[in-house]
Amino acid sequence: MTYYYLIQYRRLCRRIRAFGLSPLAALILVLIGYIAIATVLYARSAYAPFILILLSLQIIWSYYHDQHLSLIETIYDRHQITHIRLITHSVLMLPAVIYTSMRGDFIAALMGMLIAAISALLPIPRLQSQKIPTPFRPYAFELIRGFRRYGWLLLIVIIVLYNAIRVDNFNLAAFCLAIPFLMTMSWYSEQEDAQFVWIYQLDSRAFLIHKIQSSLIGSLILSLPLAVANIYFFSAHWWHVCVIMLIGILYVTVHLMSKYAYYPGQMPIATGFLYGFALLLPPLPILFAISFYRRAIAKLDYFLA
Q: Which position has the higher pLDDT, 292 or 68?
A: 292
Q: Which position has the higher pLDDT, 185 or 198?
A: 185
Q: Sorting pLDDT into bands at 50, 70 and 90, what band is 227?
A: very high
**Across all residues in the chain, what is the average pLDDT?**
83
Domain ranges within the chain, ordered by starting residue: 1-129, 138-305
Q: Which position has the higher pLDDT, 60 or 70?
A: 60
- As a whole number, mean pLDDT of residues 117-131 equals 67
Q: Which range in 36-50, 106-120, 132-146 is most confidently predicted, on average pLDDT?
A: 106-120
Q: Sorting pLDDT into bands at 50, 70 and 90, what band is 129?
A: very low
Q: Where are the alpha helices (DSSP H) in 235-284?
A: 238-261, 269-279
Helix axes 106-121, 78-102, angle to 10 degrees: 170
Q: Sorting pLDDT into bands at 50, 70 and 90, what band is 3?
A: confident
In the prediction, which pLDDT does 216 show? 92
| Predicted TM-score (pTM) of this structure | 0.68
Q: Which position has the higher pLDDT, 124 or 42?
A: 42
In the prediction, which pLDDT does 110 show? 93
Q: How far is 254 from 289, CA to CA, in rounded Å?
A: 5
Cα–Cα distances in angstroms (integers) from residue 96 to residues 37, 99, 102, 113, 294, in the given order = 11, 5, 10, 9, 40
In the prediction, which pLDDT does 4 show? 78
In the prediction, which pLDDT does 20 show? 67
- As a whole number, mean pLDDT of residues 71-90 equals 82
- As a whole number, mean pLDDT of residues 108-114 equals 91
Q: Which position has the higher pLDDT, 105 or 276?
A: 105
In the prediction, which pLDDT does 98 show? 93
Closest by alpha carbon to 233, among 164, 175, 176, 288? 164
Q: Which position has the higher pLDDT, 211 or 282?
A: 211
In the prediction, which pLDDT does 114 show? 92
Question: Euclidean distance between the first and final Cα of the chain, in Å?
Answer: 48
